[in-house]
Structure 1
Amino acid sequence: MTKQKTLEDIKETFGFVPGFFEDFKWDDLALSGGWELFKKFELSETNIPLKWKHLIALAAAGAVKCPYCTKFHTAAAELFGATETELQETAYTTSLVGYFSNYLHGRRYPLEKFDEELNHIVKNFQAAAAAGKA
């Protein structure tokens, strides 16, 4: 897509061309490629429903502490139907990943032992599901 067509598509989609896309004008591929990826994976249904996709992205944004991404994915998740409780749970779940990661790294917990324990946990859940208990 040409630079002009890309900018027109962005304007048609958003009602204007946001500055962060305008800033990509230095290179046709950076602009058109970035826009095509953004449009497909941030604004369109793919294998992951849009609400889930933006909750996942919000978790990643929180983990890397990106204020731009956090604002965008919160607004997008809400736009696609996420509730306040789902946003809260997403943030909480993200914090738990960091919590346990920090603890396991800090304790230098053996990865091989963790793998063995994880296999046991998975088998236990599979057995419970097969027995109708999960």
Structure 2
Amino acid sequence: MRHFIKYIIRRLIFIIPVLLIPITLSAQSSDAYETAKKEIVQQFGSFLSLFEVFPEHALPGAWDNFKQLQSPENAIPPKYRELMQLAVASQIPCDYCIYYHVAVAKAFGATDEEIKEAVAHGAQTRHWSMVLQGNQVEFEDFKAEVDAALKYMSEK
């Protein structure tokens, strides 16, 4: 009987902490979610639907990523960052993203002409990507051609 009791106690020593992990993580996740939500409201004046529809357990990480990529310390200035994202959003296409990135790009000083050009660059990239991919141009050959063309142009 003693051995049986010791056996049960040993098992419980391992099982109880394992059972408590989800409870602890849930509390931490809830705190992190509330912190992220509070920061989002402070940043935007409301809890935007793009964050509201995101899974609660994943929102703190997504918000941290969002803040890091929007940081003023980034190498790419905000206006150019938004124009790049607009070019991508236009090619997906994503109406929500397009609206957001046009509005934010304008807030950072982008002109209508710069917005048109960003979209055109996105379209041009998609066009040539389709031409190259559709015709199955060998990637290593293409890289060699581009390198040779850049060398030629730099020597002109």
TM-score (structure 2 length as normaliser): 0.72
Aligned counterpart for 1:69 among listed residues 97, 101, 104: 97
Aligned counterpart for 1:86 among listed residues 94, 114, 125: 114
How far 1:25 sits from its partner (Å)? 5.5
Aligned counterpart for 2:128 among listed residues 100, 103, 106: 100
CA distance, structure 1, for counterparts of residue 146 and residue 55 of structure 2: 48
Output the aligned Cα RMSD.
1.7
Deviation digits for residues 55-87 of structure 1 (CA, Å, limit 9, x no counterpart) = 111111112212221111111111111111111
* Runs (4+) off by over 4 Å: none
Aligned counterpart for 1:17 among listed residues 47, 68, 71: 47
Q: Are 1:2 and 2:32 counterparts?
A: yes
The runs of 5 or more residues in structure 2 that have no matched partner are 1-30
The runs of 5 or more residues in structure 1 that have no matched partner are 129-134
Aligned residue in 2 for 1:59: 87
CA distance, structure 2, for counterparts of residue 24 and residue 91 of structure 1: 28
Percent identity over paired residues: 31
TM-score (structure 1 length as normaliser): 0.83
Opposite residue 34 of structure 2, the aligned amino acid is Q
Task: Point out the structure with max Rg over C-alpha.
Answer: 2
Opposite residue 45 of structure 2, the aligned amino acid is G
Aligned counterpart for 1:112 among listed residues 140, 152, 155: 140
Query: Matched residue pairs, number?
Result: 125
